[in-house]
Structure 1
Amino acid sequence: MPDIQSLPLPWLAALFVASALLIAYFGSKMAAIADVLADRTGLGEALIGAVLLGAGTSISGIVTSITTAASGAPELAVSNAMGGIAAQTMFLALADIFYRHVNLEHAGASTVNLGQATVLIILSVMPIMAYAAPQIAFFGVHPVSPIMIAVYLIGLHNAHSIRQEPMWQPKETPGLRVEADDIENDPRSTPLLASLFAGLVLIVGACGWVVGESGLALSGELGISQGVVGALGTAIVTSLPELVTTIAAVRRGALQLAIGGIIGGNMFDALFVSASDIAYRDGSIYHAIGERALFWMALVCLMTGVLLLGLLRREKQGPGGIGWESVILLALWLGAAVLQVALG
C-alpha cells in the first residue's frame, strides 16, 4: 500500500478532493441499478434500498473507519461513522427540496422504513451504553460489537417479514407514490447489472481508503481534531454516494428506494463502529473515544427520532413546500456542525 500520509499537504488535499469527486460520480450510478434490481428481484424498493443500495454506497465509509481505527485513530473512526449517519439523515431533507409534489416522507410512506428507522435508533444507542459501561474486551473486542451485528441481521429479517406480511399499511392519498408507479425498462440483463453494481462498490471502496488515509494526515498537518475531521470531513465525503443516489432516486420517482437507501445505509453505517472496534487493537474502542463522538451518537438518535415521527405523521406540506421534519433535520445538523467547528 502506498504511504499516503507522508505526502505533502497540497497532494493530500488534491487526493482528498479527487476521491470525493470519484465517490460522488460512481455512487450516482448505483441508484438506477438498484432501482431496476428492486423491481426484478421482487424484494421491493425499501428493502433493496436498505440492503443493496444502503450497504453498497456505504462501502467507502466503512473502509475509512476500519483503516483509521487500525491506524490508532479511534475518535476519527467513530466520528466518521456517526457523522456520516447524521449527514445522510440530513440528506433526506435536501432530497425533500427536490421533490416538489408533496412532502417526501408523505409520498414515500413504507412500513419497512418505519421498522428500519426503529432498529437504527437501537443500534445508535448501544455504543452509548458501551461507552458508559465498564471497560470489558475479549481479544480486544467489546461484547456490544458482535451484539450490534446480530441486531442488524435481526432487523433485516424483520424488515423482510414486514414486507411479506405487513400488519400496518400507509393510508392511501393522492400524494402517495407506490412502487408500481416506477416502471423499469433497462435492457441490460440482471447478472450484468449485479456485476456492474459490484464493480462500482469496489471502486468506491478504494476511494474510501484514500479518503481515510488523506483525512488522517490532513488532521495532523492542519492541527484539526480527529472528531471534527471525522464528523465533518471524511463523513461527508464518504456519504456523497448517498446524497447523489438519493436525489437521483427521487428524480426517478423511486421514493421508497430513496428513503430506504438512507435509513438502510445508516443501519449499515452503525456497524462501522463494530468493525472499527475489531480493527482497533488497543482494547475497546468505546473507551478510547471522547465526548465529541458521544455527541454525534446522541445527535443520530435525535435526528432519527425526528425522521421517524415525520414518517408516521406524513405531513403533506410544510414551510417552503417541505415537511417540518426536514426543516428540523437541517437545523439540527447545521447547528451541530457550527458547534463542533467552534469548539475546534
Structure 2
Amino acid sequence: MEQWPLWPSVIALAVSVGIIVIAGTPLARAADELADRTGMGEAVAGAVFLGAMTSLPGIITTATGALEGDAGFALANPVGGIALQSVWLAIADLLYRRANLEHAAASLENLLQSVILIALLGLPVIAFATPQLTVGWIHPVTVCIPILYFFGLRLLRRMHSTPMWKPTRTRETRSDESQVEYSGSIAKVWLTVGLLGALVAVTGWVIARAGLGVIAATGWSSSITGFTVTTLITSLPELIVLIAAVRSGALTLGVANIIGGNVFDVLTLTVADSFYLDGTIYTAAGDESLVLLGGTLMITAALAAGLLVRDRKGIGFEGVSIAVLYLGTIGLAIVSL
C-alpha cells in the first residue's frame, strides 16, 4: 500500500490527538459507572474494560504496521505503549498532590497485574533467543501469550472475590466504593462504551497509516518511531482516562486502567506476530527491539516495587525511576541502531 505523504500524515496525527482527547473523559466515566453498577470493582473494570478499550488504537496501529511488513514498528508500538503508559502514572502523581498515587490507590489486584505483566514480557525475550522455533510463520510464544493472559485474569477474579491479603489502610488510602447513585439504563452505558471503543479503533488505523507515512518520508528508525511518536498518540486514551479518574476520585480505576492496559497490550504482540507474514516478527525486528523490551521490563519492575513500598508523599522513587528508565531505554536503542 502506498504510504501517505509527510504533511497529510502529520495533520492526521494531530486530528487523531483531538479525537482521542475528546473521547477519553466520557470513556472513563462510563467505565467507572460500569464498575460500580456491575459490582466487579474498579481494579477489574480498569483491567478488562478500560484496558481493552484504551488499547484499541495501539492494536490497530500494530496490526497495520505488521501487515505492511514493518516488523520493528509493529513490535515497538505495543512495547512502547507499556513503557510510556507507566510514565503517565508518574505524571498523574504530580497532579494528585494529596499523596503518592500508588499509595492512595492501594490494590492487590493492581499489584498482581504488575507481576503478570512481568511474566508476559518475559515470553518475547524467549522468542528473541529462539528464532528457529516456528509454527507456520509464527513463534510458539505467540500462542502462549494469550493463554497466560487469560490465566492471569482468572487469578485476578479469584483475588477480587476472596482476597488473602489486604494493603494497610492509611488516611491517604482511597476506597473504590461508589459514592454516587446512578440512574438510567445500564444498556445505555454499555452502548456508550461500545461506540467510543469503535471511534478509538478507527483512530488507531489512521495513526498507523500516518506513522508509517512519517517513517517513509523522514527515514527515521521504525522501532524508535513506534516506541515514541505513534505510541505517544495511541497511549493518549490511557492518559486522558487516568487524569479523569484521578480528578473524580476513582484512583484505583485510574491506576488499573494503566496497568490493565499494559497487560492487555502484551496481547498485541500476538497480533503483531500473526499479522506479520514474512516469518516470525521477533527475527525481523532487530536488536534495538530487544533493548526496548528489556527497558520496559525494568520500568514494570519499578512500578511493582512502588505499589509494594507505597511512598506516602510526592512522586515517589518509582515515578523518578520510571522516567529515568524510559529516557535511558530510548537512548540505548538509538545507540544500538
Q: Which TM class, normalised by the smaller chain length? A: over 0.9
For 2:217, the equivalent position in structure 1 comes to 221
What code does the residue aligned with 1:132 have? A
Q: 1:326 aligns with which of 305, 319, 322?
A: 319
Contact 2:292 2:330 in 1 (8 A): no
For 2:299, the equivalent position in structure 1 comes to 303
The number of residue pairs the alignment matches comes to 337
Is 1:164–2:182 an aligned residue pair?
no
Contact 2:103 2:307 in 1 (8 A): yes
Counterpart Cα distance in 1 of 2:189 and 2:290: 39
Is 1:101–2:98 an aligned residue pair?
yes
For 2:202, the equivalent position in structure 1 comes to 206
Deviating more after overlay: 229-238 vs 13-22: 13-22
RMSD: 1.4
Contact 1:83 1:230 in 2 (8 A): yes
TM-score when scaled to structure 2? 0.96
Is 1:255–2:248 an aligned residue pair?
no
Counterpart Cα distance in 1 of 2:37 and 2:249: 17
Shift of 1:7: 3.6
Is 1:121–2:114 an aligned residue pair?
no
For 1:138, the equivalent position in structure 2 comes to 135
Tell me the SS of whatever aligns to 1:179. Answer: coil
Contact 2:42 2:252 in 1 (8 A): yes
Shift of 1:67: 0.9
Tell me the SS of whatever aligns to 2:228. Answer: helix
What code does the residue aligned with 2:289 have? A
For 1:34, the equivalent position in structure 2 comes to 31
> Percent identity of the aligned residues?
39
Shift of 1:20: 2.1
Deviating more after overlay: 46-55 vs 11-20: 11-20
Counterpart Cα distance in 2 of 1:286 and 1:29: 37
Contact 2:61 2:74 in 1 (8 A): yes
What code does the residue aligned with 2:108 have? T
Counterpart Cα distance in 2 of 1:234 and 1:189: 37
Is 1:69–2:69 an aligned residue pair?
no
What code does the residue aligned with 1:328 have? S
Summarize deviations over 1:55-108 as a string: whole Å, max 9, x none.
100000000001110110111001001001000011111111111111101110
For 1:197, the equivalent position in structure 2 comes to 193
Shift of 1:280: 0.7
Is 1:276–2:283 an aligned residue pair?
no
Shift of 1:140: 1.2
Summarize deviations over 1:15-50 as a string: whole Å, max 9, x none.
121112212221232111111110001000000000
Is 1:187–2:183 an aligned residue pair?
yes
Tell me the SS of whatever aligns to 2:98. Answer: coil
Summarize deviations over 1:98-137 as a string: whole Å, max 9, x none.
1111110111011111111100001111001111014222
For 1:81, the equivalent position in structure 2 comes to 78
Shift of 1:339: 4.7
Shift of 1:212: 0.5
Contact 1:9 1:218 in 2 (8 A): yes
Is 1:245–2:234 an aligned residue pair?
no
What code does the residue aligned with 2:138 have? V
Shift of 1:341: 5.4
Contact 2:5 2:214 in 1 (8 A): no
Counterpart Cα distance in 2 of 1:161 and 1:48: 14
Contact 1:141 1:283 in 2 (8 A): yes
Contact 1:76 1:229 in 2 (8 A): yes
Summarize deviations over 1:224-265 as a string: whole Å, max 9, x none.
010111000111110000011011111111111011111110
Contact 1:107 1:255 in 2 (8 A): yes
Summarize deviations over 1:272-296 as a string: whole Å, max 9, x none.
1111111111111111111221111
Deviating more after overlay: 113-122 vs 184-193: 184-193
Counterpart Cα distance in 2 of 1:341 and 1:200: 36
After superposing on structure 2, the runs of 4+ consecutive aligned residues of structure 1 that deviate more than 4 Å are 338-344
TM-score when scaled to structure 1? 0.95
Shift of 1:334: 2.6
